């Protein structure tokens, strides 16, 4: 290839008047060929007609030498065009290098701008979420304590009613009427169930509060020790409303295959953001795959998101896979590009995966790759160093 490039830079001296094919036709063929089109062509001719000279220049010649010619003139013109050819190649190389530099600088600028915008958004969101978590935590504690007292008082009252019923099997008619009116027997059975539901609701609120406070670490800009499973679980808790039965499809199954992992040093809030993007994308992919399918069909072939973690030497590996529609090879090649999205208009800005790559690769020195094919689902594989 180097020899070919060098050969193509050497000027060709071409006589206009030749048997069979004239110089003009040879020049046309050279210029029509991608490999030889840039070879400098210098015509040699005894013709003095300006029309012939213009014709030669129009089809791509760079110069004319009129016969009879002097040897010194030919050498001088060849040196000139060799020098021009060399300067042209040098300029093209510099332009190409500069274009690459500018492209890289633009990409870096876009990534920096993207990260700054996202960091500001996540910082504000982190403060908001942390505040909400704190605000709901106090009333949760109050309600939880009150429920325990209410349950105790309720049990005492029920014991009193039962004892009174045993000791006074034939109460006053007015009392008997009220017992029937309020359906005391049903109340005695239903109240414990109500209290159990209240306790479950309080536990759910506590879990949400904890998940909010865990996710609120997104505004932490320093490295901290972090348990990966806590981040994934808090993300799943915050996305539970999207995972549950939606009426037109059953609950999305979450399959956890957690390995034994050490604490890692990382920007924990930023990793939570990556988990949020990847799991939310998996839910979107599953919802899209359900188009045209009824509830029973989906129930027979349930939507699943499988999350696998393991320790790979000095790295933690996290795999997040769905059994959705997958994507084409061309889409997979662009999936981490800035502003690229496979979602329909209005359903995605094409920032989530670009940000995820920035966080994993640039911020943590790890790697993220996508394995996918049409109708076979999608899997994202993340490698994060245990220590930064």
Number of domains in the chain: 3
CA distances to 306, 312, 383 from 320, in Å: 6, 16, 12
Domain-embedded: residue 85? no
Domain that includes residue 250, residue range: 220-388
Domain-terminating residue out of 193, 219, 245: 219
Higher pLDDT, 6 or 278: 278
pLDDT at residue number 279: 93
- DSSP H helices in the chain: 2-7, 23-32, 50-58, 71-167, 173-182, 184-215, 228-238, 240-243, 268-289, 295-300, 329-334, 352-357
Element holding 312 (H helix, E strand) = strand 304-312
CA distances to 113, 118, 133, 152, 295 from 126, in Å: 19, 12, 10, 39, 37
**Do 227 and 325 reside in the same domain of the chain?**
yes
**Do 211 and 225 reside in the same domain of the chain?**
no
**Do 368 and 254 reside in the same domain of the chain?**
yes
* pLDDT per residue as tens digits for the range 97-155: 888 888 888 777 776 666 666 555 555 555 555 566 666 767 777 787 788 888 888 88
Task: Say yes or no to pLDDT of 309 above 90.
Answer: yes
**Could you tell me the end-to-end alpha-carbon distance of the chain, in angstroms, rounded to an integer?**
44
Task: Say yes or no to pLDDT of 263 above 50.
Answer: yes
* pLDDT per residue as tens digits for the range 312-331: 989 999 999 999 888 888 88
**Do 208 and 262 reside in the same domain of the chain?**
no
Domain-embedded: residue 87? no
**Do 276 and 361 reside in the same domain of the chain?**
yes
Average pLDDT, integer, range 65-80: 78
**Do 323 and 336 reside in the same domain of the chain?**
yes
Domain-terminating residue out of 35, 69, 103: 69
Residue among 279, 300, 257 at smallest CA distance from 356: 279
pLDDT at residue number 322: 94
Average pLDDT, integer, range 327-353: 63
Domain-embedded: residue 108? no
Return mean pLDDT, the chain: 80
Q: Could you tell me the pLDDT band of residue 334, with boundaries at 50, 70 and 90? A: confident
* pLDDT per residue as tens digits for the range 215-247: 665 445 678 899 999 989 988 988 888 898 888
**Do 124 and 267 reside in the same domain of the chain?**
no
**Do 282 and 382 reside in the same domain of the chain?**
yes
* pLDDT per residue as tens digits for the range 358-385: 889 988 999 999 998 887 889 999 999 9
Share of the chain above pLDDT 70, in %: 83
Task: Say yes or no to pLDDT of 342 above 80.
Answer: no
Task: Say yes or no to pLDDT of 271 above 50.
Answer: yes
- Residue showing tokens 């009129």: 66
**Do 371 and 245 reside in the same domain of the chain?**
yes
CATH code, domain carrying 23: 3.40.50.2300
Q: How far apart are alpha carbons 78 and 63 in whole angstroms?
A: 10
pLDDT at residue number 9: 65
Higher pLDDT, 287 or 354: 287
Average pLDDT, integer, range 303-319: 95
């Amino acid at each position: 290839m180097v020899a070919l490039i060098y050969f193509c830079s050497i000027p060709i001296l071409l006589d206009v008047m030749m048997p069979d094919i004239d110089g003009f036709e040879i020049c046309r063929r050279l210029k029509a060929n991608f490999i030889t089109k840039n070879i400098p062509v210098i015509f040699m001719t005894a013709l003095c007609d300006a029309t012939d000279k213009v014709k030669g220049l129009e089809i791509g010649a760079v110069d004319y030498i009129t016969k009879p010619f002097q040897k010194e003139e030919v050498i001088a013109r060849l040196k000139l065009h060799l020098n021009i050819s060399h300067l042209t190649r040098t300029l093209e190389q510099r332009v190409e290098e500069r274009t690459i530099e500018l492209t890289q600088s633009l990409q870096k600028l876009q990534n920096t701008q993207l990260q700054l915008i996202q960091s500001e958004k996540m910082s504000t969101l982190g403060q908001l979420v942390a505040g909400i978590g704190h605000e709901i935590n106090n009333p949760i504690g109050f309600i939880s304590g009150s429920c325990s007292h209410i349950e105790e008082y309720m049990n005492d009252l029920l014991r009193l009613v039962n004892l009174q019923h045993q000791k006074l099997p034939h109460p006053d008619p007015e009392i008997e009427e009220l017992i029937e009116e309020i359906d005391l027997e049903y109340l005695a059975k239903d109240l414990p169930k109500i209290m159990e539901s209240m306790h479950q609701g309080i536990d759910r609120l506590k879990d949400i509060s904890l998940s909010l406070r865990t996710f609120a670490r997104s505004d932490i800009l320093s490295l901290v020790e972090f348990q990966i499973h806590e981040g994934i679980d808090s993300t799943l808790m915050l996305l539970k409303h999207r995972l549950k039965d939606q009426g037109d499809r059953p609950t999305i199954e979450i399959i956890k295959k957690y390995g034994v992992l050490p604490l890692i040093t990382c920007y924990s809030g930023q990793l939570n953001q990556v988990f949020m993007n990847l799991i939310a994308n998996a839910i979107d992919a599953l919802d899209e795959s359900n188009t045209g399918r009824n509830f029973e069909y989906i129930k027979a072939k349930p939507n699943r998101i499988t999350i696998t973690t393991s320790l790979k030497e000095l790295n933690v590996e996290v795999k997040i896979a769905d059994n959705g529609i997958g994507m084409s090879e061309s889409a997979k090649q662009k999936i981490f590009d800035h502003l690229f999205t496979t979602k329909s208009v209005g359903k995605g800005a094409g920032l989530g995966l670009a940000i995820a790559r920035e966080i994993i690769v640039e911020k943590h020195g790890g790697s993220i790759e996508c394995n996918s094919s049409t109708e076979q689902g999608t899997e994202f594989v993340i490698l994060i160093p245990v220590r930064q």
